[in-house]
Amino acid sequence: MADGAKRLDTGSEQLAQGFVSLANGSEQLSESLKEAAAQSAGVKADDPTLQMYAQPVQLVEQKMNAVPNYGTGSTPYFLALGLLVGSLLAANIIPLHLPAAPKVNGWRYMFGKLGLFYSVGLIQTLLANGVLIFAFGIRPVSVPLMLLYSLIVSFAFMTLIVMLVSLFGTFGRLLGIFLVVTQLATSGGTFPFPLAPEWIQAIGRCLPMTYALRGFHAVVSTGNWDLLWRETGVMIAYIAGFAAVMLIRILTQSANGTLYPQASAAHG
Q: Measuring CA to CA, which residue among 83, 110, 68, 93 is closest to residue 220?
A: 68
Q: Place 263 in a pLDDT band, splitting at 50, 70 and 90.
A: very low
- pLDDT of amino acid 264: 38
Mean predicted lDDT score pLDDT of the chain: 81
Rounded to an integer, what distance in angstroms lies between the CA atom of residue 154 and that of residue 94? Answer: 16
Pairwise pLDDT comparison (194 vs 88), residue with the higher score: 88
Comparing 15-24, 166-175, 196-205, 223-232, which segment has the lowest mean pLDDT?
Answer: 15-24
Rounded to an integer, what distance in angstroms lies between the CA atom of residue 16 and that of residue 47? Answer: 51
Rounded to an integer, what distance in angstroms lies between the CA atom of residue 166 and that of residue 225? Answer: 35
DSSP state of 96: S
- pLDDT of amino acid 103: 59
pLDDT 10s digits, 87-142: 999 988 887 765 555 556 777 778 888 889 999 999 999 999 999 999 988 889 99
Rounded to an integer, what distance in angstroms lies between the CA atom of residue 18 and that of residue 25? Answer: 10
Rounded to an integer, the average pLDDT of 202-225 is 90
- Beta-carbon contacts of 113 under 8 Å, excluding residues fewer than 6 positions away, are 96, 162, 166
Q: Measuring CA to CA, which residue among 146, 143, 261, 257 is closest to residue 212?
A: 146
0.85 exceeded by pTM:
no
Rounded to an integer, what distance in angstroms lies between the CA atom of residue 236 and that of residue 208? Answer: 10
Rounded to an integer, the average pLDDT of 70-74 is 72
- With vertex at residue 262, the alpha carbon angle to CA 258 and CA 264, rounded to the nearest 5 degrees, is 70
Pairwise pLDDT comparison (43 vs 101), residue with the higher score: 43
- pLDDT of amino acid 243: 93
Rounded to an integer, the average pLDDT of 151-167 is 93
Quick check: 178 pLDDT over 70? yes
Quick check: 246 pLDDT over 70? yes
**Cβ proximity of 228 and 145 under 8 Å:** yes
Rounded to an integer, what distance in angstroms lies between the CA atom of residue 176 and that of residue 88? Answer: 7
- Beta-carbon contacts of 260 under 8 Å, excluding residues fewer than 6 positions away, are 99, 100, 101, 102, 104
Quick check: 5 pLDDT over 80? no
From residue 76, give the alpha-carbon distance in Å to each of 88, 209, 261: 19, 10, 43
Rounded to an integer, the average pLDDT of 27-47 is 71
Quick check: 12 pLDDT over 50? yes
Rounded to an integer, what distance in angstroms lies between the CA atom of residue 158 and that of residue 238? Answer: 11
**Cβ proximity of 123 and 164 under 8 Å:** no
